[in-house]
Amino acid sequence: MAGERERTWPGSLQVCSECGSEMKYAGLGEFRCSECGNVALNDYGRVRAYLEEHPGATQSEVSKATGVSPNRIRQLLMEERIEISANSSVFLFCEMCGAPIRSGVRCLKCEEKYKKGVELERKSERVHSNVTGHAMGNQGQASGEMRFLKK
């Protein structure tokens, strides 16, 4: 059953436990039955609802109360769907520089550097993919052959 909860994505088919009708994703981790109005929550919905009622709860408290695994809660933190409260002494750490962060995988400074690097890499790929010429072989690889031009 826990494996089924992990796969509840927006738009995925859910069946109402009350009447057996199809449930539609309503947003924020919530599914609603179009027939009886029953509401079901996926992992994100259960964690979000618990944190709304218990701000500042620890990961273990949230896990025990919701049945969502600590690993899934950490994944939600890294996806920036939830964050560690401002008054907490516990932090995640930036994967690039090690600075403390409240959600995600990089601090703002490193995220900016990362995005600039990705943009430069994409530009470089576009430039290199548009390059053609005599030295390019059949597979688009440089053949290494040289020739002299007659003047």
* Tokens of residue 18, six digits: 């009350």
Sequence letter at residue 23: M
Residues 17-58 pLDDT 10s:
999 999 999 999 999 998 999 999 999 999 999 999 999 899
The separation between the first and the last C-alpha atoms of the chain, rounded to the nearest angstrom, is: 77
Amino acid 81: pLDDT: 95
Amino acid at 89: S
Q: For residues 132 and 11, what is the distance between their CA atoms, to the nearest angstrom?
A: 44
What pLDDT is attached to residue 125?
81
Are 10 and 41 within 8 A, CB to CB?
Answer: no
Flag whether pLDDT at 10 surpasses 90.
no
pTM of the model: 0.69
Write down the pLDDT at residue 86.
Answer: 87
| Segment 67-120, tens digit of pLDDT | 999 999 999 999 999 999 888 888 899 999 999 999 999 999 999 999 999 898
More confident residue, 110 or 128: 110
Smallest CA-to-CA distance from 38 within 19, 10, 25, 12 is with: 19
**Residue 37, phi-psi category: left (phi > 0), alpha (psi -120 to 50), beta (remainder):** left
pLDDT band of 123, cuts 50, 70, 90:
confident
Asked if residues 16 and 34 have their Cβ atoms less than 8 Å apart, the reply is no
